Amino acid sequence: MSDRATLDAELAAGLAALGLPDDAGLRAKLLDYLALLVRWNATYNLTAVREPQAMVARHLLDSLAIARYVTGDRVADLGTGPGLPGIPLAILQPHRRFELVEANGKKARFLRECVRRLPLPNASVVEARAEGAQPGDRVPCVVARALAALPELVRLAEPWLAPGGELLAMKGPGHDDERRGLPPGWQVVATHGITVPGLDAGRFLVVLKQAGAG
C-alpha cells in the first residue's frame, strides 16, 4: 500500500497537470477522503478499485478533471456511488453546494460519514434513486459519472435541472451512438476531450441542454 507522502506527491503532480491549485490543505482533504474510502471499501466494497495509488488517478483526478466545466451555485451529482465526482468537486469548490444522490444504503452511509468527518458543509446526501427522489429547488448543473446511456441520463436529470441548466455526462470512448436516442428537445452543446493524469483511457465530457434554453 502506498504511503501518504507518495500519494500526496502524485496528487500534487496531477493537480498541476490539470491546472488546478496545488494547495497543501486541498490535497490533505482529498487524501482524507481517499483514506475513508479505502477503509470502508475493505468492508463494504464501494468501488472495484482497491489500491490507493490507483484511486488517485481513477477517482480523484478523474473527478477533478471536469471542474472547469461545472457551472452555477448548486450541483446535483446523480448516482454518485461513493461520492464521485461530487465529493472531490465539493472539496475543490467550497463556494458551490453539492447534492449527492445515491440509492444504495451502504454507499449513502459512507457519504454521510464523509460529509461529517471531512467535514463538507457544502454537501448533502439524498438517499434515493435519481428517478424516485423529489428534488427541492432545481439546480443549474447536474453531473453524472458512468450512470446511464445519454437518453436515459437525460430522463433522469430533467426533473433536477433548472431552465437553461446543463447536464455534464462523464463518458468513455464509444458514446457517439447514444446521441441518436436523445429525447426531443435535448441537444449536445459541447463535447470535451478530457486528459486525466495517470490514465491512458480516453475520457470525454458531454454537455447537454434543452434546445432553446439559455
pLDDT in tens, 8-24: 999 999 999 999 998 99
Read off the C-alpha cell for 15: 493537480
| Residue that has been written with the C-alpha cell 458551490 in this structure | 96
Q: What is the pLDDT of residues 26-67, one digit of tens each?
A: 999 999 999 999 999 989 989 988 898 989 999 999 999 999
Q: What is the pLDDT of residues 168-192, one digit of tens each?
A: 999 988 788 888 889 999 999 999 9
Read off the C-alpha cell for 85: 465526482
Cα–Cα distance for residue pair 112/34, rounded to 1 Å: 15
- For the entire predicted model, the pTM comes to 0.94
Q: Is the dihedral of CA 137, 141, 143, 148 positive or negative?
A: positive
Residue 200 confidence class, pLDDT cut points 50, 70, 90: confident
What's the CATH fold of domain 57-210? Answer: Rossmann fold (3.40.50)
A 10 A CB-CB count for 25 gives 9
Indicate the DSSP class of residue 74. E
Total residues found in the chain within this entry: 214
Question: What pLDDT, on a 0 to 100 scale, did the predictor assign at position 1?
Answer: 47
75 or 177: whose pLDDT is higher? 75
Domain-wise residue ranges, the chain = 57-210
Cα–Cα distance for residue pair 84/65, rounded to 1 Å: 12
